[in-house]
Amino acid sequence: MSTSLVILAAGKGTRFGSEKLFLHLVDKTLLEWNLELAKDIVGLSEVIVVAPQQQLARIRSFARAYPSLSVKAIAGGDKRLDSSYIGVSACRGEFILLHNVANPLAAVDDFDRLIHALEKEDCACFVGQPVVDTLRRAKNGQVTLVDRDWLYRAQTPQGFRRKTLLKLMRENLNRDVTDEVTLYERTNLKIRAFPCALVNLKITFPEDLDFLQQYLGNEYLVGIGEDSHAFGKDGELVLGAVRVKKHPKLQANSDGDVILHALVNAIGSALGGASISQTADEMCEAGVTDSKEYLRVVLRNMFESGRELSNVAVSLECKRPKIDPLVDDMKKQLSQLLRVHPSRIGITATSGEELSSFGRGEGIHCSCVVSLKSTHPERRHQSLHSHQRHERNHPVEVSG
């Protein structure tokens, strides 16, 4: 039998403070978390996303990144049951899986168990967490113990046979329900419950998103980048956004700042992107030679993906200039550009015993390693605006 997945995303997010469909959890929107999950559900024939009318075009744009899925976006109604009825009515599958977009960390196994239950009988089934805490009801000054045995915190996905679900929906459209399993409580049909992981949590309040950010935020991305240039005969050396007097500019179409170039490559690598040439070549042709502008592009991509820099390691191979006297100025400039405390930036240098052209003073080679961590949601907006305020810092000048 065929299976349809209905992703419910039409809610206004009143308790959260905004719609949730395009909230970022680490490096993906909630919609993307759901579509990534849908890819791995065996036997899924279609995905119906029920959302606000004004978001449908954006959903269709996101869905193009998932060619293996048949995704349809439709406008929802005023209440949950209105939206789920619209979604289920658009389905062709005999089995219906209803899932809140705000439950981004459901497991494929959650869906599989519901499908297997529906194959056996016409029932309503859901996943949830068995209650393990002591429960007390406090009402009108009276506090009483509630028996927690057999209690579940109901989550999604929830599964149904389409024909039966549609019949019950039509009979109850005037009811205000928090989930569709409720419709089965007044029938003789079975309701099946299956335990799920604690992280299959519905994001209702900002604190719920914070919790999941922290849960996933232990994952770090690491990127490595390199760049090198030979010395020219004129101009002024720029290194780590610091102008170094008495040393000629490195040969390049840009200002030749090998540290910033290597940083762009390292951050782009960590984000799964391409090398600096993909951005810088076109900008150079347009007359943009300030390497900070290239860095600005990759930093914006990083912040928008929900990441920020944790550590930066810079290693230089050169004979000239002497690096140690420049380190404090370079760390100050990089700290402002990258929004990282100077203590999280390391800069080392070697001449390599003059075994290479860089060690013999013919140019400079730079290697960078960066680690990226998840941006705390309260800091993400701040990080983007802080970056905009500082992105046009001018290089300081020192004598080398």
Q: Where are the domains of the chain?
A: 3-206, 221-399
In Å, the largest CA–CA distance within the chain is 88
pLDDT over 90 percentage in the chain: 84
Q: Residue 392 pLDDT > 60, yes or no? A: no
The SS3 call for residue 13 is coil
Lowest-confidence segment of 31-40, 323-332, 356-365, 387-396 by average pLDDT: 387-396
**pLDDT (tens digit per residue) in 153-206:** 999 999 999 999 999 999 999 999 999 999 999 899 999 999 999 999 999 999
What would the mean pLDDT of 315-329 be, rounded to a whole number?
96
Residue in 137, 143, 370 with CA at minimum distance from that of residue 268: 370
**pLDDT (tens digit per residue) in 205-263:** 999 999 998 888 667 899 999 999 999 998 999 999 999 999 999 999 999 999 999 99
Amino acid 216: pLDDT: 83
- Does domain 221-399 correspond to CATH entry 3.40.366.10? no
Question: For 380-389, which contacts have Cβ atoms below 8 Å and span 24 or more sequence positions?
Answer: 380/24, 380/303, 380/306, 383/303, 383/308, 383/339, 384/300, 384/303, 384/304, 386/339, 387/296, 387/299, 387/300, 387/303, 387/339
Amino acid 394: pLDDT: 53
**From the CA atom positions of the chain, what is the Rg in Å?**
28
What would the mean pLDDT of 357-382 be, rounded to a whole number?
80
Amino acid 218: pLDDT: 65
Contact 227, 258 (CB under 8 A): yes
Residue holding tokens 């993909």? 278
CA gap 234, 372 in Å, rounded: 37
Amino acid 396: pLDDT: 60
- To 5 degrees, how large is the angle CA 233–CA 237–CA 241? 160
CA gap 145, 384 in Å, rounded: 48
Residue holding tokens 């592009």? 297
Contact 255, 291 (CB under 8 A): yes
* Burial status of residue 217 (CB atoms within 10 A of its CB: 0-12, 13-18, 19 or more): middle
Q: What's the mean per-residue pLDDT of the chain?
A: 91
Amino acid 265: pLDDT: 95
Amino acid 89: pLDDT: 98
Amino acid 268: pLDDT: 94
Topology adopted by domain 3-206: Spore Coat Polysaccharide Biosynthesis Protein SpsA; Chain A (3.90.550)
CB within 8 Å of 143: residues ≥ 6 apart: 136, 137
Q: Residue 377 pLDDT > 50, yes or no? A: no
What would the mean pLDDT of 30-47 be, rounded to a whole number?
96
The SS3 call for residue 117 is helix
- For the residues of 245-283, what is the DSSP string, one character each? ETSPPBSSSS---HHHHHHHHHHHHHTT---THHHHHHH
Q: Residue 99 pLDDT > 60, yes or no? A: yes
For residue 23, name the pLDDT band (cuts at 50, 70, 90): very high
- For the residues of 14-59, what is the DSSP string, one character each? TTTTS--TT-EETTEEHHHHHHHHHHTSTTEEEEEEEE-GGGHHHH
Amino acid 192: pLDDT: 97
Amino acid 376: pLDDT: 52
Amino acid 398: pLDDT: 58
Record the pTM: 0.61
Local structure of residue 143 (DSSP, 8 states): E
Amino acid at 111: F
What would the two tokens of residue 138 be? 């406090």
- For the residues of 325-381, what is the DSSP string, one character each? GGHHHHHHHHHHHHT--GGGEEEEEE-GGG-STTTTTSEEEEEEEEEEEEPPHHHHH
Q: Residue 83 pLDDT > 90, yes or no? A: yes
Chain centre distance of CA 156: 21
Contact 70, 47 (CB under 8 A): yes
What would the mean pLDDT of 50-55 be, rounded to a whole number?
97
